[in-house]
Chains A and B, each alone.
Chain A
Amino acid sequence: MQRVIERILNLLAFLLTVNHPVTAEDIRHTVAGYDQDSDAAFRRTFERDKDLLRSLGVPLKMTATDIWEVEHGYVIREDEYAVKDPGLTDEERSALLAAAQVVQFGGQPTEMSAIFKLGGASSLISTPAIGADLGEDLEGLGVLFDAIASRREVRFAYGDRRRTVHPYALAHRLGHWYLAAPERKEPLPVKAFRVDRMAGIEPHGDGDAFEVPANFDSNAVFPGGRDREELHALVRFASDVAPVAQNQVSGTEVVDHADDWVELRVPVHNRHAFIGWMLGFDDRAVVLEPAELRESVIAHVRGDR
Chain B
Amino acid sequence: MSARTQSRIARMLAMIPYVVEHGGASLADLRERFDYPSDKAVVKDLNVIFMTGLPGYGPGDLIDVDIFEDEVVIESADHFRSALRLTPGEALGLLAAGSTLVASGQAPPALASAVDKLATAIGVELDDQVILDVPTPQIVHDLRYALESHNPVRIVYVAASTNETTTRVVEGEAVFFNLGAWYFRGYCRLADDDRLFRVDRIASVEVLDEEFVPVAADSPAVAIYEPSPDDHIAVFDVGPTSRWVADYYPVESEQLTDGVVRITMHVADPLVAARLLLQLGDDATLVEGTAVDEALHDLRDRILEAYATI
Contact = CB atoms under 8 A, between A and B. Distances in A.
B303 A92 contact: no
Contacts of B90: 57, 110-111, 113-114, 117, 138, 142
Interface stretch (A64-72, A80-88, A181-189): A80-88
Contact of B33 (A16, A105, A122, A135): A122
B275 to A, nearest CB: 7
Contact of B1 (A52, A146, A169, A222): A52
A40 interface: no
A92 B124 contact: no
Given A30-B55, A114-B94, A123-B32, A95 B79 contact: no
A163 to B, nearest CB: 17
Given A1-B5, A57-B87, A103 B96 contact: yes
Looking at B6, B90, B135, B299, the one whose CB has the most chain A CB atoms below 10 A away is: B90
Contact of B281 (A82, A91, A111, A305): A305
Contacts of A171: 130-133
B118 to A, nearest CB: 5
B48 interface: yes
Nearest to A250: B135
Interface string A35-56: 0000000000000100110011
Looking at A105, A114, A169, A286, the one whose CB has the most chain B CB atoms below 10 A away is: A114
Contact of B179 (A10, A86, A135, A243): A135
B60 interface: no
A100 B98 CA distance: 7
B257 interface: no
A74 interface: no
A17 B82 CA distance: 13
B147 interface: yes
B107 A280 contact: no
A145 B90 CA distance: 10
A300 interface: yes
Interface in B145-181: 147-148, 156, 158, 160, 163, 165, 173-181
B131 A110 contact: no
Secondary structure call for the B interface: helix
A297 B156 CA distance: 29
B128 A145 contact: no
A138 B89 contact: yes
B251 interface: no
Contacts of A87: 117, 121
B92 A172 contact: no
Contact of B303 (A114, A116, A282, A294): A282
Contacts of A96: 94, 97-98, 111, 114-115, 118
Contacts of B123: 84, 149
A145 B124 contact: yes
B221 interface: yes
Interface stretch (B9-17, B64-72, B231-239): B9-17
B38 interface: no
B6 A55 contact: yes
Interface in A1-16: 1-2, 4-6, 8-10, 12-14, 16
A139 interface: yes
Contacts of B39: none
A32 B86 CA distance: 27
Looking at B89, B110, B124, B244, the one whose CB has the most chain A CB atoms below 10 A away is: B89
B302 interface: yes
Contact of B5 (A52, A98, A149): A52
B137 interface: yes
Nearest to B162: A282
B82 A81 contact: yes
B189 interface: no
Nearest to B85: A83
A107 interface: yes
Contact of A5 (B48, B181, B305): B48
Contact of B82 (A2, A82, A138): A82
Nearest to A222: B131
A31 interface: yes
B163 A176 contact: no
Interface in A179-231: 196-197, 218, 222, 224
Nearest to B92: A145
B128 A282 contact: no
Contacts of A118: 83, 86
Contacts of B117: 86-88, 92
Given A103-B100, A116-B83, 19 more contacts: A17-B54, A52-B9, A58-B84, A92-B110, A95-B98, A113-B10, A113-B11, A117-B90, A120-B34, A129-B174, A129-B175, A130-B176, A133-B179, A142-B87, A169-B131, A176-B180, A247-B200, A283-B305, A298-B304
5 contacts: A32-B55, A129-B148, A145-B91, A224-B133, A244-B200
Interface of A: 1-2, 4-6, 8-10, 12-14, 16-17, 30-32, 48, 51-52, 55-59, 78, 80-89, 91-96, 98-100, 102-105, 107, 110-124, 128-135, 138-139, 141-143, 145-146, 148-149, 168-176, 196-197, 218, 222, 224, 236, 240-241, 243-244, 247-248, 250, 275-276, 279-284, 286, 288, 294, 297-298, 300-303, 305
The 4 closest A-B pairs by CB, nearest first: A175-B180, A142-B89, A110-B93, A120-B33
